[in-house]
Each structure stands twice: as C-alpha cells, then as structure tokens.
Amino acid sequence: SEDFDTIRDAIFSVLECRPGERIMRPRFGSPDFVFDAVQHPQAVISRIQTALEEQIPDVEFVVSGEIKDDGTFNVQINWIVEQMPQAPIQFMLQSENSR
C-alpha cells in the first residue's frame, strides 16, 4: 500500500511541477502550456499522458477527459501498477474564458 501511495504522490509531482524547477531533473514535470490548452482537450490528454509515461515508466496510464457545458475540463487518470488497477485521479481545469 505504501508503494502505491508513493507512486500516487509521484503522479501529483509530475502534474504540479514545471520543467526546469528541479535542478537535477530539468525535464521533470508538465509544461505550463498543457494547462493553457484547455480548448484543445486531446492535446491536454496527450501531453499529460506523455509526461507521466516518461517520468514514471513502470506504471500504465490511461488519461481521459471531457469538456463540460460550463467550459471546465474534467481530467481522469487511470493507472495500473503491477497489473493492479489503482483508484483514478480526477481533477478539473478551467480556461481563462470559462472563469
């Protein structure tokens, strides 16, 4: 269980960190433009999935999302460790236009 919690924390680290923030790992994180591209959901999904796969290689990820009527973009990250599905991670993004 602790190992899965560590991986879950690593997923959040990838999502919250921007490349260049970690001196010893300059490519670690998700670029800012991922979250600025809410009007292009497939681009957001693809960039999040790529960042996670590159930086947490021993985990299977399936990232999905949908734009709601109010302009928010709901993202869900399904992840599997050692053939054991874990609880999905869900979050919401808003574009500047939907605020």
Q: Bridge partners of 84? A: 81
Assign 98 a pLDDT band (cuts: 50, 70, 90): very low
- From residue 98, alpha-carbon distances to 1, 24, 73, 80 in Å are 38, 36, 10, 33
Tens of pLDDT along 44-95?
888 889 999 999 999 999 999 888 888 788 899 999 999 999 999 998 876 5
The reported pTM is 0.79
